[in-house]
A and B are shown apart, each in its own frame.
Chain A
């Protein structure tokens, strides 16, 4: 496995893993607070900060670039809050306005920066869609502490975050500073976004906030399970996407990571027990079959009472008349369950069935 000793690849995978874990954890709270889209606005809004950080530092040093990104992410967050408070705009409209405004500004600045000498080599446009191969060991030294602080804060404020997310009104009554906690959680979304800028880029970063959390929600019964699972899904998507990108044809890393993450999400939304769409369809189908079976048994019971004979043989034609052609499958099921059995009556007529002792008990005839 020479691959593991390749520095570029190792850095890319480590960076993507950091991002996956942090965005999974932070995204879980954002999702439950119905704040997922804040990630989209904040990530797009970092672009002007990235460009300004680059201009001021005069080169592609990660520190100033990330600082610029954080500043503009926070500015966008404040702009959203101000719009919602001061105008009659709802949050969705405010998020949309802030996103477009800051991103437009960022694209203008990016075009300007790329006109400057030396900027083309810096590959600033890789911040749009991410380029994990550009992650340096020194970059990881910046990203890892940020990620550690974020996760540490989440662990420290676990029960406060949980209560403020589930029931903010009650949280206020017991004296929790809910506004401060909500601000902190939003700030942490901005941090997760900033960690992901190199790997995923500003355009698709929102998916990393939403997808692992949404996938994890499908499989979990508690917040603890959800957050841990979201971190693992984020980690897996990050690493797989980074590996694919590094070994492939120079694809941008962001789209690959996001495709893996959303792939996991789609599967989760479809098949997760309890919440999965397919699971629910199958459950409904199963219930439908049970109801059909009960209805057929009720017909048996009715005919038995009518004839005063618990061994009364019911002819297929009667069942067809009552229940339609689909009854054949129900008859097969009931036979397989040992509730009815085929009975020979008269050769000239069609098939007949009688309730077995088990069937008599199940349909309540035995009680009567």
Chain B
């Protein structure tokens, strides 16, 4: 197993010439992205810019029309156990009959392999992960009785037990309360401190500078990428958001200057 030759092994994420189209329309066009390890990277762009599509394409959920992706030098299918994914909260039915702890334990299914049942070791990992996101007391709670912020924390805990090197999160801060947002950001910063790479689809330009140290600004194509302080310029934002620039708060533009 494993490729004998690694392609760009020094990059946590390397995307080259990636193009994805839906019904003949490009959702992503000729994307080249390089993200070094141990950074916390925001993927930012207007609605319809293809941010979620980019994540799905990296995770091989959406087949690309062209291009390739490597993670720490290897293709995705060889890296599954070293990658964690937090989908959008709305992607599942929260009325499913199960508990918070059980959902978190699902994060270990990939490591368990076929047919093996999760044991007490997995249970303890899951319980610890719930503690890390600050809801240890909700372990046996029905997921239908969790608030939006608690649901997001459960998803985050599930990603934690995946014990990955690279974390992909799709809008984890969308529609959660301020406390949950603080918990999430604090946790992601701790992960980065342990050398993990964090890639987040993010929607709030105002917080990019505070939370992230790396930025990919996109709108179907990549507009700019690199360290946040060099990348987040007025010109780049204008190029990404185009006519919608008026909708962006003046403070963001000001901060970018």
Chain A: residues with CB nearer than 8 A to chain B?
A: 32, 34, 156-160, 162-163, 165-167, 169-176, 217, 220-223, 225-226
Chain A nearest CB from B32 CB (Å) reads 23
Cβ-defined contact, B96 with A32, below 8 A = yes
Write out the residue numbers on chain A whose beta carbons fall within 8 Å of the beta carbon of B118. Answer: 159
Q: Give me 11 A-to-B residue pairs in the complex whose CB atoms sit less than 8 angstroms apart, sorted by A's number.
A: A159-B109, A162-B106, A163-B109, A169-B61, A169-B91, A173-B59, A173-B60, A173-B80, A174-B162, A175-B80, A220-B97
Write out the residue numbers on chain B whose beta carbons fall within 8 Å of the beta carbon of A176. Answer: 109-110
Write out the residue numbers on chain B whose beta carbons fall within 8 Å of the beta carbon of A222. Answer: 97-99, 102
Cβ-defined contact, B98 with A223, below 8 A = yes
**Cβ-defined partner of A163 (8 Å) among B60, B99, B106:** B106
Write out the residue numbers on chain A whose beta carbons fall within 8 Å of the beta carbon of B60. Answer: 172-173
Write out the residue numbers on chain A whose beta carbons fall within 8 Å of the beta carbon of B98. Answer: 162, 166, 222-223
Instruction: Kindly state whether residue B103 has any CB partner on chain A within 8 Å.
Output: yes
Cβ-defined contact, B77 with A175, below 8 A = yes
Chain B: residues with CB nearer than 8 A to chain A?
A: 59-61, 77, 80, 83, 85, 87, 91-93, 96-99, 102-103, 106, 109-110, 112, 114-115, 117-118, 142, 158, 162
Cβ-defined contact, A173 with B106, below 8 A = no
Cβ-defined contact, A160 with B114, below 8 A = yes
A367 to B81, CA, bound (A): 57
A202 to B106, CA, bound (A): 37
Write out the residue numbers on chain B whose beta carbons fall within 8 Å of the beta carbon of A156. Answer: 115
**Cβ-defined partner of B103 (8 Å) among A158, A166, A173, A174:** A166
A269 to B46, CA, bound (A): 44
Write out the residue numbers on chain B whose beta carbons fall within 8 Å of the beta carbon of A167. Answer: 87, 91-92, 106
Closest 8 CB pairs of A and B: A174-B110, A173-B85, A167-B92, A175-B80, A166-B96, A173-B59, A226-B97, A169-B87
**Cβ-defined partner of B87 (8 Å) among A170, A220, A225:** A170
Considering only CB atoms, which chain A residue lies closest to B58 in the complex?
A173
Write out the residue numbers on chain A whose beta carbons fall within 8 Å of the beta carbon of B99. Answer: 221-222
Cβ-defined contact, A174 with B80, below 8 A = yes
Write out the residue numbers on chain A whose beta carbons fall within 8 Å of the beta carbon of B87. Answer: 167, 169-170
Chain B nearest CB from A277 CB (Å) reads 15
Cβ-defined contact, A159 with B97, below 8 A = no
Write out the residue numbers on chain B whose beta carbons fall within 8 Å of the beta carbon of A220. Answer: 97
Write out the residue numbers on chain B whose beta carbons fall within 8 Å of the beta carbon of A157. Answer: 115
Considering only CB atoms, which chain A residue lies closest to B142 in the complex?
A221
Contact A170 B106, CB 8 Å, known A217-B97, A221-B142: yes
Write out the residue numbers on chain B whose beta carbons fall within 8 Å of the beta carbon of A171. Answer: 109
A158 to B96, CA, bound (A): 15
A49 to B232, CA, bound (A): 65
Cβ-defined contact, A173 with B77, below 8 A = no
A142 to B158, CA, bound (A): 43
Chain A nearest CB from B242 CB (Å) reads 30
A220 to B83, CA, bound (A): 33
Write out the residue numbers on chain A whose beta carbons fall within 8 Å of the beta carbon of B162. Answer: 174
A162 to B108, CA, bound (A): 13
Write out the residue numbers on chain B whose beta carbons fall within 8 Å of the beta carbon of A34. Answer: 93
**Cβ-defined partner of A166 (8 Å) among B80, B106, B110:** B106
Chain A nearest CB from B57 CB (Å) reads 12
Cβ-defined contact, B96 with A173, below 8 A = no
With contacts A160-B109, A221-B99 known, what are 16 further pairs, Cβ within 8 A? Answer: A32-B93, A32-B96, A157-B115, A158-B117, A167-B87, A167-B91, A169-B87, A170-B106, A172-B60, A172-B61, A174-B80, A175-B80, A176-B110, A222-B97, A222-B99, A226-B97
